[in-house]
Amino acid sequence: MRKTTFIQAINEALREEMQRDERVFLIGEDIGHYGGLFRVTRNLLDEFGERRVIDTPISEQGFMGMAVGAAMAGLRPIVELMYMDFYLVCADQIFNQAAKMHYMTGGLLNVPMVIRGQQGGGKGYGSQHSSSVESTFAQFPGIKVVAPSTPYDAKGLLVSAIRDENPVLFLEHKMLYFTRGELPDAEVDYTVPIGKSEVKRAGKDLTLATFGYTLLQALEAAEELQAEQGIDLEIVDLRSITPLDMEGVLTSVARTGRLLAVHESQSNAGIGAEIVARTYEEAPYLLKAPARRLGMAPASLPVSKPLEEELLPWKRNIKAAVLEMMK
Amino acid sequence: MAEPSLKASVPSAKAAVAEATAVLATEQLLSMYRKMVLIRRVEESLLDLAGSGKIGGAMHTAIGHEGAAVGMAAALRPQDYLTCTYRGHHHSLARGMDPRRAICEVLGKAPGFAKGKGGSMHFLDPSLGLMGANGIVGAQVPHAAGMALAAKIRGDDRVAITFFGEGALYQGLMHETFNMAQKWKLPVIFYCENNRYSEMTPISRTSSVAEIHLFARAYGMESVQIDGNNVEVVYETVARAAARARAGEGPTFIEGVTYRLAGHMANDLETYRSAEEIDMQRSYEPLTQLQQTLLGRGVAADLLAQLRAEVEQEVQSAVEFALEAPWPDVAEAYTDVYKV
């Protein structure tokens, strides 16, 4: 084991899968010669050449559509969206094409591609470069959605995503890029299964279900709540949004009797609302107090730091929600 | 703005490929004639079925477009990729799809190629290189470019062809795809079936450019306008484009001028054009043209009638097969969401 950054973990997964499988190639804006706006794909052009690391013009509809076609033809494209917000520019190719292809062809075709890139707030990028998109994607069967919170999960989940036979959205929170964590040595082939949550902090008072960067915020909130209030949070890292590991969530709720679901996409009709609804449908008897969700307030993220922090479901807002639930 | 020319033949483009129009043997032309009749009769039968309420949703027939499909099928290899617009029955039938499975699919019956899940707008059979018709105008065009990119990455010599109407040219992703395909010299053929109507709106009211093959010139792309109703011209043009693509010379844009003799979709009220206009087009349509060519080569009219009778029987038995075919098991509603 060694310590690496989140970026390094993703870069390694890309490189090792490209070495292992000739069908894997990368396509996107500034990913080759520049190495990616966030340097996630650096050095890959040198190793694999322009045939497999393809810099595109700023044409999201076009290159997303070409990736779908290449996947239909048996290759395994990995598309970088520079900012996840840009999925809206090429939404038809993602939702009407990639996600529906296997179903509407009666299983004759499949689209084994990964769409990856960074999302989320915290860096002052403003309304069109800070969105979190997982809840919207969760509305579409046919595409899987994963969002790791540690370098270990990032590498293991990305390898699983690349080897999957279906389109997979791989979400990297921009605040996670320079976080560090343990990673097995490069030659160790491991995967993290899609659709399996993991308890990242064991506790007895309340289950906090989240993923991605808000998981780190939740861990900090948990330590402070423990020290300040004696409240003991259990934190479940969903890791996958589609498929959603409700079994993992409910197993935890069975221990704590309380549930708070946290995410950066909109609270309204978001994935947290789904988790809460399914908890009431499937196991309402587990709950000692009403289950809640905490997502983004109904606004897009502003540039100004205090405004951004006001809206994001980060530590301060998480602590306030937990305290209210523990009253 | 002037109304569009209704003349189907395009003398200048014809001249460009004229020296090669005699390459096809009569035997091959006869087999192409049979395929065109098959497409025509399948489409007419589907319109009858739609008229009797047996087909749900939108169905777009290619009556009058047969030349493009049959000329293409003769010019390409079976493993060459093809994507097309939702007006795409003819491409699949021309490449060899079984009419029984085609009609079953449109009716939503179990023996349909996609178990009745895709229907009229999603014709495909990957074993014949048919990689999917598409319900979203223009969406299939980058798919074909992506398949051409895949061929280039793998280093094989497959080409991809994509069919779209002139109405698709006004979608933004066409610009993106043309630019990348030309920049990267992808082995792809962009075949525009210009039937001069975007659904119900004539080209004179949609396009800023009267001669649409000129759009492709802006990308530095090889571009040609042809009589898309002349199957020999289509064959020759597609064969040349494929040879260019295989030689690494990049994409070709083909504007095949044609005319849709039936409505945009089944039950189209067709308030946007006159009966005279449609009648005038009948003398230029692909079947009429090929029939004249064959008779001109001394083929007996009886032989053509015999071919038509054979096809008639095949299509009628396919319709009966489809009407009697079972519905899919309801459990199929939940399968194929993800590939496991």
Indicate if A105 and A248 belong to the same structural domain: no
B121, B157, B336: which to substitute to probe chain A, counting the most A Cβ within 10 Å?
A: B336
Indicate if A15 and A124 belong to the same structural domain: yes
Last residue in a domain, options A154, A183, A212: A183
> Which residues on adjacent β-strands are paired with residue B28?
none
| Partner residue facing A62 (CB), from B126, B154, B173 | B173
Residue B8 has pLDDT above 80, yes or no: no
Give domain status of residue A165, yes or no: yes
**Buried/exposed code over A95-127 (b: 16+ C-beta within 10 A; e: otherwise):** bbbbbbbbbbbbbbbbbbbbbbbbbbbbeebee
Sequence letter at residue B22: A
Residue B13 has pLDDT above 60, yes or no: no
Partners of residue A52 in chain B, C-beta under 8 Å: 153
Query: Which tokens go with B187?
Result: 């082995």
Contact B43, B62 (CB under 8 A): yes
- The catalytic residues of A are 60, 129
Q: How many CB atoms lie within 10 A of CB B243?
A: 13
Sequence letter at residue A179: T
Q: Do A69 and B179 touch (CB under 8 A)?
A: no
* Cα→Cα distances A166→A144, A245, B338, Å: 7, 18, 6
Give domain status of residue A192, yes or no: no
Output the DSSP codes for A148-197.
-SSHHHHHHHHHHHHH-SS-EEEEEEGGGTT-EEEE--TT------TT--
Nearest CA in chain B to A59: B176
Q: Do A72 and B131 touch (CB under 8 A)?
A: yes
Task: List the CATH number of the domain containing A145.
Answer: 3.40.50.970
Q: Quote the pLDDT of residue B21.
A: 54
Residue B1 has pLDDT above 70, yes or no: no
Phi first, then psi, for residue B57 (nearest 5°) are 70, -160
| Cα–Cα dist A10/A26, whole Å | 13
Indicate if A121 and A249 belong to the same structural domain: no
| Partner residue facing B339 (CB), from A66, A104, A166 | A166
Residue (of A199, A198, A158, A153) closest to A176 by Cα position: A153
Contact A1, A187 (CB under 8 A): no
Q: Quote the pLDDT of residue B307.
A: 98
Q: Does A256 touch chain B (CB under 8 A)?
A: no
Q: CB under 8 Å to B25, separation ≥6 — which residues?
A: none
Pairing relation of β-strands B188-194 and A292-296? unpaired
Q: Does A50 touch chain B (CB under 8 A)?
A: no
Output the DSSP codes for A35-91.
--TTSTTTTHHHHH-TTTEEE--S-HHHHHHHHHHHHHTT-EEEEEESSGGGGGTTH
pLDDT digits (tens, 9 = 90+) for B205-253: 999 998 999 999 999 999 999 999 999 999 999 999 999 999 999 999 9
Indicate if A204 and A164 belong to the same structural domain: no
Nearest-Cα distance to chain A for B318, in Å, is 21
Indicate if A75 and A160 belong to the same structural domain: yes
Indicate if A70 and A110 belong to the same structural domain: yes
Phi first, then psi, for residue A204 (nearest 5°) are -125, -10
Nearest-Cα distance to chain B for A127, in Å, is 24
Residue (of A44, A242, A239, A218) closest to A140 by Cα position: A242
**Chain A to chain B Cβ contacts (< 8 Å):** 148
Mean pLDDT confidence for B81-104: 98
Output the DSSP codes for B78-133.
TTSEEEEESS-HHHHHHTT--HHHHHHHHHT-TTSTTTTSSGGGG--BGGGTEEEE
Sequence letter at residue B91: H
Q: Does A37 touch chain B (CB under 8 A)?
A: no
- Cα B215 to chain centroid, rounded: 20
Partners of residue B131 in chain A, C-beta under 8 Å: 69, 72-73, 109
Residue B72 has pLDDT above 80, yes or no: yes
Contact A219, A211 (CB under 8 A): no
Indicate if A148 and A233 belong to the same structural domain: no
Q: Do A105 and B146 touch (CB under 8 A)?
A: no
| Cα–Cα dist A80/A73, whole Å | 19
Last residue in a domain, options A183, A217, A250: A183
Nearest-Cα distance to chain B for A314, in Å, is 34
Partners of residue B183 in chain A, C-beta under 8 Å: 57
| Cα–Cα dist A18/A11, whole Å | 11
Q: Quote the pLDDT of residue B210.
A: 87
Angle at which helices A271-282 and A246-256 pack, to 10 degrees? Answer: 70
Give domain status of residue A188, yes or no: no
| Cα–Cα dist B225/B13, whole Å | 5
Residue (of B194, B290, B186, B180) closest to B242 by Cα position: B186
The pLDDT tens digits along chain A (327 residues) read 899 999 999 999 999 999 999 999 999 999 999 999 999 999 999 999 999 999 999 999 999 999 999 999 999 999 999 999 999 999 999 999 999 999 999 999 999 999 999 999 999 999 999 999 999 999 999 999 999 999 999 999 999 999 999 999 999 999 999 999 999 998 899 999 999 999 999 999 999 999 999 999 999 999 999 999 999 999 999 999 999 999 999 999 999 999 999 999 999 999 999 999 999 999 999 999 999 999 999 999 999 999 999 999 999 999 999 999 999
Give domain status of residue A300, yes or no: yes
Domain count across chain A:
2
Q: CB under 8 Å to A292, separation ≥6 — which residues?
A: A259, A260, A261, A276, A321, A325
Indicate if A67 and A202 belong to the same structural domain: no
| Cα–Cα dist A57/A66, whole Å | 13
Q: Do B118 and A51 touch (CB under 8 A)?
A: no
Indicate if A85 and A164 belong to the same structural domain: yes
Could you tell me what percentage of chain B is helix, strand and coil, using 3-state DSSP and rounding each to the nearest 5?
A: 50, 10, 40
Residue B20 has pLDDT above 70, yes or no: no
> Which residues on adjacent β-strands are paired with residue A198?
A237
B206-215 contact pairs (CB < 8 A, 24+): B206/B167, B206/B170, B207/B166, B207/B169, B207/B170, B210/B4, B212/B166, B212/B169, B212/B255, B213/B253, B213/B254, B213/B255, B215/B169, B215/B178, B215/B253
Partners of residue A65 in chain B, C-beta under 8 Å: 139, 141-143, 145-146, 173, 177
Q: Quote the pLDDT of residue B11.
A: 41
> Which residues on adjacent β-strands are paired with residue A199?
A236
Pairing relation of β-strands A180-183 and A2-5? antiparallel
Mean pLDDT confidence for B196-210: 92
Task: Tell me which residue range forms the domain holding A267.
Answer: 198-325
Pairing relation of β-strands A114-119 and A168-173? parallel
Q: CB under 8 Å to A188, separation ≥6 — which residues?
A: none
Indicate if A45 and A170 belong to the same structural domain: yes
Q: Quote the pLDDT of residue B32.
A: 98
| Cα–Cα dist A266/A300, whole Å | 9
Last residue in a domain, options A183, A214, A246: A183
Query: Which tokens go with B279?
Result: 């009648």
Give domain status of residue A190, yes or no: no
Q: Which of residues 260-279 of A touch B (CB under 8 A)?
A: none
pLDDT digits (tens, 9 = 90+) for B126-166: 999 999 999 999 999 999 999 999 999 999 999 999 999 99
| Partner residue facing B177 (CB), from A52, A62, A97 | A62
Nearest-Cα distance to chain A for B123, in Å, is 8
Q: Is B115 left (phi over 0), alpha (psi -120 to 50) or beta?
A: left
Task: List the CATH number of the domain containing A281.
Answer: 3.40.50.920
> Which residues on adjacent β-strands are paired with residue B223?
B253
Indicate if A47 and A171 belong to the same structural domain: yes
Nearest-Cα distance to chain B for A169, in Å, is 14
Give domain status of residue A314, yes or no: yes
Contact A208, A225 (CB under 8 A): no
Partners of residue A103 in chain B, C-beta under 8 Å: 117, 336-337
Indicate if A179 and A202 belong to the same structural domain: no
Partners of residue B251 in chain A, C-beta under 8 Å: none
| Partner residue facing A106 (CB), from B113, B142, B146 | B113
Q: How confident is the model at residue B9 (pLDDT cuts 50, 70, 90)?
A: very low
Query: Which tokens go with A170?
Result: 């791989």
Residues in chain B: 340
Q: Do A97 and B139 touch (CB under 8 A)?
A: yes
Q: Quote the pLDDT of residue B7.
A: 47
Superfamily of domain B11-325: Thiamin diphosphate (ThDP)-binding fold, Pyr/PP domains (3.40.50.970)
| Cα–Cα dist B101/A327, whole Å | 64
Nearest-Cα distance to chain A for B126, in Å, is 7
Q: Quote the pLDDT of residue B22.
A: 58
Query: Which tokens go with A215?
Result: 């998981």
Mean pLDDT confidence for B259-275: 93
Q: How confident is the model at residue B18 (pLDDT cuts 50, 70, 90)?
A: very low
Q: Do A93 and B151 touch (CB under 8 A)?
A: no
Give domain status of residue A102, yes or no: yes
Partners of residue B132 in chain A, C-beta under 8 Å: 72, 101, 105, 109
